[in-house]
Amino acid sequence: MKRTNLYLTEKQMERLRQRSEQEGVAIAELVRRAVDSFLAWDDPTYRPMPPTPQTGKSHSSPG
């Protein structure tokens, strides 16, 4: 995986935090899922990579 930075609105972050807690997955995983959905939207040949198990400590930015 490649690390990247992106800017989200406060509302987007709050919704992602809520969803992350509800589903028990990291915000980064939710963002990867959203990107996969976007890329597959109009490209039937797009196949996302299966999720890889997280190892070590999870990282989160201060919010």
Per-10-residue mean pLDDT, the chain, length 63: 95 98 97 94 85 54 52
- The pLDDT value recorded for residue 50 is 74
8 Cβ partners below 8 Å, 6+ apart?
16
The pLDDT of residue 44 is 83
- On whether the CB atoms of residues 30 and 23 are closer than 8 A, the answer is yes
> Is there a domain that residue 3 lies in?
no
How much is the pTM?
Answer: 0.71
Question: Which range of residues forms the domain containing residue 25?
Answer: 10-40
Tell me if 52 is assigned to some domain: no
Q: How many domains does the chain have?
A: 1
Q: Is residue 48 part of a domain?
A: no
- Provide the pLDDT for residue 17: 98
Whether residue 28 is contained in a domain is answered as: yes
